[in-house]
Structure formats: structure tokens, C-alpha cells
């Protein structure tokens, strides 16, 4: 059985490995919907209880497919997180205004087929006007909690300084969780520096993308991946090193991310039951310390490199 960890002060116990449902929206490859649904059920059977999705993934497709998968599943078997504020390539692709957030939450509940989500998160705050995020979006999410449509409130984003700036500006207790992505894994450990401030604020931490959205896989990153070429090349070299040793970089990457106990859950995404199973099974094996040291050495020149996102791009 997968380990359960406390998510900040929410009282929620979440599996150390969580299911990221972006793949159900076909963001990495076209998926077979019934295989995607089987993956959700298999993930639950493997002991995963945290499921994260967003209206943005597959432009509502991921929420719709997930809603079909969850039909008939006992509500206490899963902790459901979705997001609001980020919608798609067409304008307005981001909208953190209060009315839109309130409407967005209702739309998500409809697609997911539930009367409440456990966690509602502002999706990638660095793309918003932070005044609007702080003064409209977070209060609207808190009103959803008062209305029984969500239990807790979170924010997500890539640049940790922006995430911390939002945490700094809101009243204590108004943000329950932070979802950080691509900032804790084999190639990047910047999230560690943010943990003391988040812990001091009583905020639960979720880490997403232990495979760095495909960088740390043998298939390699999708064409849209925003990582700079140097980082992509180093990750390819690390994957090749694993291959030469008869090992899989995905296994090492998942083991490494989940081993950090101050992170409540690590979200990994796949629409394949077999891949989800191997991600969970990876946690039963001890980490190969020699391989880990060699992979970290290959990635050392690009450590914490990341890429600009949202307001950092201007
Ligand atoms: P990830 O690191 O989980 O990588 C996913 C890629 O790895 C996919 O191509 C998948 O097919 C592949 N993969 C997964 N398991 C594999 C295995 N065992 N072997 C080979 N390939 C495997 O990245 P992600 O999908 O970006 O992140 C996971 C989840 O985290 C998302 O679904 C989402 O829920 C969440 N997330 C949130 C944000 C945000 O809120 N801003 C950003 C990124 C991710």
C-alpha cells in the first residue's frame, strides 16, 4: 500500500504518489479514452488517492474524461483537486477575476460529476495580474469553500518567487496548499529553498512533474516543452546513461522525488495503466545510489536551470 502523508494543516491524508490527470486530456499524445479511464481505476486500486486535474488540460477534455472515470466510484476513495483561472490558447487564456472563477468552479463540478472538490487551485498565478489573483481569485475560491463546493484552497505555478510573493500578500490561512511543478526532481531542487516559508505558513506542498513533463523519460520531451535546449540535452544524456546501465530513468526520477518527506505528494501523469503501475512499483525498490550519483553528475551543469514563465517572460 502506498504511504499516506499529511497535506499541510488540511487534515487530508494523501498518497505519496498522486495521479496527474493532464494525460487524460491528450496533452502528451492522443489517448484512447477507455484506456485513460482504466488508468484512473488502476491508480485507485494501486493505493493512489490524490487526483489532480484542470479545465485547461485538453481544454476541458481531461475533466470530462475524469468525470466519466469517477462515476460510481465511492467519493471517499479519492481526494480531488482541480484548478481555475487558466483556460486555453484562445483569449482570454487566463482570467482570475472573481465572477469567472466562481463560474469556472461550477463548470468543473459539472464536468467532474461531483458536488464538491477537495482542493480548488488558482492555475499558474504567474500569468495573472497578482492584484487580481490576491484580491479577486483567492476570495472567490474561499467563497466556494463557504458554499461547500470545495474544501481547501491552493495556488500553483512555476516561478517559486512569484508563488511565495502571493503567499506573502494574503491573510494567514487563506491558502492551504501550493502545487509546484518541475522544481523538485533529478534536474532541479529549487523547491527545497521555498519549503521553510511554506511550512511556516502551514501550507501543504504538492510537487508535480517528477519526470519534468517528459524531459526525464526515454521517449523524451514533447515538441512544446519550454525547457532550454541545454537542459533538454542534459536530460537526454541522463536517460541514455540509464539505458546503458539497463535501468529506466523514469523509475529513478519517481523514486528520487517521492523520497523527500516534506513534500506531501508527487503528481505523475500517464494514461497507461502499465506505466502507472510501474511508477507505484518503483517505490517498493531501494534507490540505486550509484546510478543516482552518476545521473546527478550528468545533470549538475543544468541544475535548477528552469525557464521563464508568465510575468518573468516580459
Ligand atoms: P510528468 O513528470 O508526470 O511527466 C508526464 C510524462 O511522462 C507523460 O508523457 C507520461 O506519459 C510519461 N510517463 C509517466 N510515467 C511514465 C513511465 N513509467 N514510463 C515512461 N513514461 C512515463 O509531468 P506532468 O504530466 O506535467 O505532471 C503530472 C501532473 O502534475 C499533471 O497531470 C498535473 O496534474 C500536475 N501538474 C500541474 C501543473 C500546474 O498546476 N501548473 C503543472 C504541471 C503538472
Q: How far is the CA of 167 from the centre of ligand 1 (A)?
A: 25
Long-range contacts of 63-68 (CB under 8 A, 24+ apart): 63/21, 63/108, 63/111, 63/112, 64/111, 65/21, 65/24, 65/25, 65/33, 65/36, 65/37, 66/21, 66/24, 66/40, 66/112, 67/111, 67/112, 67/113, 67/114, 68/33, 68/37, 68/113
Which pLDDT score is estimated for 27? Answer: 66
CATH number, residue 150:
3.20.20.100
For residue 223, being part of any structural domain is answered with: no
Distance separating alpha carbons of residues 312 and 302, to the nearest angstrom: 19
For residue 29, being part of any structural domain is answered with: yes
Grid cell locating 120: 480548488
Strand pairing partners for 4? 15
For residue 293, being part of any structural domain is answered with: no
Which pLDDT score is estimated for 85? Answer: 98
At 241-273, the pLDDT tens digits run 999 999 999 999 999 999 999 999 999 999 999
At 67-119, the pLDDT tens digits run 999 999 999 999 999 999 999 888 789 999 999 999 999 999 999 999 999 99
Q: How far is the CA of 182 from the centre of ligand 1 (A)?
A: 10
Q: Which domain holds residue 262?
A: 4-215+250-287
For residue 26, being part of any structural domain is answered with: yes
Distance separating alpha carbons of residues 24 and 133, to the nearest angstrom: 27
Query: What's the pTM value of the predicted model, to 2 decimals?
Result: 0.97
Who contacts 294 (Cβ-Cβ below 8 Å, separation ≥6)?
Answer: 241
Q: Please give the number of the atom of ligand 1 that sits closest to the Cα of 157.
A: 41
For residue 155, being part of any structural domain is answered with: yes
Which pLDDT score is estimated for 313? Answer: 75
For residue 34, being part of any structural domain is answered with: yes
Q: Which of 56, 57, 184, 256 is catalytic?
A: 57
Question: Closest Cα partner for 175 from 156, 148, 194?
Answer: 156
For residue 231, being part of any structural domain is answered with: no
For residue 104, being part of any structural domain is answered with: yes
Q: Residue 4 carries which DSSP code?
A: E
Q: Whose alpha carbon is nearest atom 33 of ligand 1?
A: 20
Is 57 one of the catalytic residues? yes
Complex ipTM: 0.98
Number of folded domains that form the chain = 1
Distance separating alpha carbons of residues 291 and 245, to the nearest angstrom: 8
179 neighbors 206 (Cβ within 8 angstroms): yes
- Residue ranges in the chain whose pLDDT is less than 50: none
Q: Whose alpha carbon is nearest atom 30 of ligand 1?
A: 208
Amino acid at each position: 500500500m502506498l504511504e499516506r502523508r499529511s497535506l499541510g494543516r488540511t487534515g487530508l491524508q494523501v498518497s505519496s504518489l498522486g495521479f496527474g490527470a493532464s494525460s487524460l486530456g491528450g496533452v502528451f499524445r492522443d489517448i484512447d479514452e477507455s484506456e485513460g479511464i482504466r488508468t484512473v481505476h488502476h491508480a485507485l486500486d494501486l493505493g493512489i488517492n490524490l487526483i489532480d486535474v484542470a479545465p485547461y488540460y485538453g481544454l476541458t477534455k481531461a475533466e470530462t474524461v475524469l468525470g466519466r472515470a469517477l462515476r460510481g466510484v465511492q467519493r471517499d476513495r479519492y481526494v480531488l483537486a482541480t484548478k481555475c483561472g487558466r483556460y486555453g490558447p484562445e483569449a482570454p487564456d487566463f482570467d482570475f477575476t472573481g465572477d469567472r472563477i466562481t463560474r469556472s468552479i461550477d463548470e468543473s463540478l459539472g464536468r467532474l460529476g461531483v458536488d464538491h472538490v477537495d482542493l480548488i487551485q488558482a492555475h499558474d498565478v504567474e500569468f495573472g495580474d497578482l492584484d487580481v489573483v490576491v484580491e479577486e481569485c483567492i476570495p472567490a475560491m474561499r467563497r466556494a469553500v463557504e458554499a461547500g463546493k470545495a474544501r481547501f484552497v491552493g495556488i500553483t505555478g512555476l516561478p517559486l518567487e512569484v508563488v511565495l510573493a502571493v503567499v506573502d500578500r494574503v491573510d494567514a490561512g487563506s491558502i492551504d496548499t501550493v502545487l509546484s511543478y518541475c522544481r523538485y526532481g533529478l534536474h532541479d531542487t529549487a523547491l527545497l529553498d521555498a519549503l521553510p516559508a511554506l511550512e511556516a505558513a502551514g501550507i501543504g506542498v504538492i510537487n508535480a512533474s517528477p519526470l519534468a513533463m517528459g524531459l526525464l523519460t526515454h521517449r523524451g520531451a514533447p515538441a512544446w516543452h519550454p525547457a532550454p535546449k541545454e537542459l533538454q540535452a542534459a536530460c537526454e544524456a541522463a536517460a541514455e546513461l540509464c539505458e546503458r546501465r539497463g535501468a529506466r530513468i523514469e523509475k529513478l526520477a519517481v523514486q528520487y522525488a517521492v523520497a523527500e518527506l516534506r513534500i506531501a505528494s508527487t503528481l505523475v501523469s500517464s494514461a497507461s495503466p502499465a506505466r502507472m503501475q510501474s511508477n507505484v512499483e518503483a517505490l517498493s525498490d531501494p534507490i540505486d545510489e550509484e546510478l543516482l550519483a552518476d545521473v546527478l553528475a550528468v545533470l549538475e551543469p543544468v541544475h535548477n536551470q528552469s525557464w521563464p514563465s508568465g510575468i518573468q517572460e516580459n
